[in-house]
Amino acid sequence: MREVLLRVPGMKIPLSSLWLISAPLVYGLGHWFEAHPEALERYYSLSWQKIFMQGISRATGLVPFSLAEILFYGHLASAGVLLVLLLKSLLKGGVFRLIYKTAVYLAAVYVLFMLVWGLNYSRQPLGVTLGLDVRPYGLEELNALSEHLLQQANALREDQVTDQGDLMKIASTQKDLFLRTGLGYEPLKGLHPIFDGSWGPPKLLLSSGPMLYTGITGVFMPFTGEANVNIRVPDLLLPATAMHEKAHQMGIAREDEANYIAYVSSMNHPDSDFQYSGTVLALIHTTNALYRESPEAYYALREGYSEGLSRDLSAYRAFWQSYEGRINDRADRINDTYLKSNRQQAGVKSYGRMVDLLLAQFLAGDLP
């Protein structure tokens, strides 16, 4: 196939090279938007990008399986083919042309990713958007939030459906669980434009079992608008995970902020299994921060865990211990690199920043 050329005065430029030119321009655009967040909100996040993502999400939502999963494994297989072609080109020539085509394709993927969703990483902090007073907090405030969430979790645990091992389980099928996610976002509509709109429901991952070894519980795919959930994880955090991935659909890119929205939307959900799951998610992150600040305060708080809550958390930890290993560590490093490349400089540690948003809402007297 002949290369399509772009003719400009005095030269002929391969049209495909425009992707290579566009990549650094789009990267620079992200930095510009960081300095002009109002422009990003007005002309991207709350305008055409939001409309586009709702449209593609609802369209792919009509398909009962994950298109994102097909796209991912298709690219994984193509990587092997690319390696074979590279070795062949080293022997027979044409290696530079293959490298050029690969670079063009990767640049095109990057540019499209940033345009359809990735520029949301340049949005101003969610606390600023929602008018929360996010600031440094002391141990006393952190401990008070932990106690509040513990009381909330203990009370909600009493309402949960349990399995034969007396562990919490969702009060419906997984399919119905995904269809119920939207109920938690309905009360938030009208509070801020970021919550307005309608997206397709989350989907299960057929490869959920193998993905447990990576530690991945959910994946959002911007190119298909799908919120994908690992259904093999314990029911304890399954509703909160679904709400987290749905927050990504809405343009909330940062992991810590998506966790916070998962809690807020779960607490606005009419069903107790969502409320409990979201509260446990918030409790885990908050008490992890409390432990880092004061192990003594953490262990004192730990004495107040109800038997049911303790049993759920112990089973959850035991479940993941069997999947720890090299693959999980490698997946963490890959995820860390991805987050840092999208201006989340704390990498995987950014998941802990959820606590600051919880504290701001708690001290404002607005936490459920």
In a domain, 103, yes or no: yes
Q: Is residue 208 part of a domain?
A: yes
Determine, yes or no, domain membership for 148.
Answer: yes
Contacts of 245 (CB under 8 A, 6+ apart): 202, 218, 219, 220, 227, 228, 229, 258
Q: Quote the pLDDT of residue 137.
A: 87
Tell me: pLDDT of 95 over 80: no
pLDDT (tens digit per residue) in 118-165: 999 999 999 999 999 988 888 999 999 999 999 999 999 999 999 999
Alpha carbons 255 and 261: distance in angstroms, whole number = 10
212 falls in which pLDDT band (50, 70, 90)? very high
Whether residues 207 and 350 share a domain: the answer is yes
Q: How many CB atoms lie within 10 A of CB 272?
A: 16
pLDDT grade for 335, boundaries at 50, 70 and 90:
very low
Q: Tell me the average pLDDT across 252-278.
A: 97
Is the pLDDT at 108 greater than 90? The verdict is: yes
Q: Which residue has the tokens 């996010």?
A: 134
Out of 81, 97, 122, pick the residue that ends a domain: 122
Distance from C-alpha of 331 to C-alpha of 71, rounded to nearest angstrom: 19
Cβ proximity of 237 and 316 under 8 Å: yes
How confident is the model over 42-53, as a mean pLDDT? 96
pLDDT band at 252 (very low <50, low <70, confident <90, very high): very high
Q: Is the confidence at residue 341, as pLDDT, over 60? A: no
Taking residues 37-50, report their average pLDDT: 96
Q: Which two tokens stand for residue 256?
A: 């810590």
Same domain, 169 and 314: yes
Question: 11 and 99 in one domain?
Answer: yes
Distance of alpha carbon 66 from alpha carbon 207, whole angstroms: 10
170 occurs within a structural domain: yes
Beta carbons within 8 Å of 266's beta carbon, 6+ residues apart: 184, 239, 240, 243, 274, 275, 277, 278, 279, 281
Give the confidence band of 12 by pLDDT, cuts at 50, 70, 90: low
Strands (E), the chain: 5-8, 11-14, 203-204, 218-221, 226-229
Asked whether residue 133 falls in the same domain as residue 101, the answer is no
* Number of structural domains the chain divides into: 2
- Does some domain include residue 368? no
Task: Please check whether residue 319 lies inside any domain of the structure.
Answer: yes
CA 107 – CA 115 distance, rounded (Å): 12
Per-residue pLDDT for 9 more than 80?
no
Does residue 90 fall inside a structural domain?
yes
Q: How many angstroms separate the Cα of 63 from the Cα of each of 52, 66, 217, 364?
A: 18, 7, 21, 42
Whether residue 358 sits in one domain with residue 213: yes
Which pLDDT does position 193 carry in this prediction?
A: 94
Evaluate whether 226 touches 66 at the Cβ level (below 8 Å). yes
| One domain, residues 35 and 47 | yes
d(C-alpha 240, C-alpha 257), whole Å: 13
Pick the last residue of a domain from 66, 100, 122.
122
Q: Is the pLDDT of residue 200 over 50?
A: yes
Cα–Cα distance for residue pair 204/9, rounded to 1 Å: 52
Q: Which domain holds residue 46?
A: 5-122
Same domain (yes/no): 114, 137: no
Among residues 70, 91, 122, the one where a domain terminates is 122
Q: Are 367 and 361 in contact (CB under 8 A)?
A: yes
Structural domain contains residue 140: yes
Helix (H, G, I), strand (E, B) or coil at 122: helix
In whole angstroms, what is the distance from residue 282 CA to residue 54 CA? 28
Average pLDDT over residues 63-67: 95
Task: Give residue 209's identity as a one-letter amino acid code.
Answer: G
Q: Based on the domain organization, do 70 and 185 belong to the same domain? A: no
* Percentage with pLDDT > 70 across the chain: 88
Locate 365 and state its tokens: 């007297």
- The larger pLDDT score, comparing residue 332 to residue 99, is at 99
Is 66 in the same domain as 195? no
pLDDT of residue 90: 67
| Rounded mean pLDDT, 50-58 | 97
Which pLDDT band holds residue 93 (cuts at 50, 70, 90)?
Answer: low
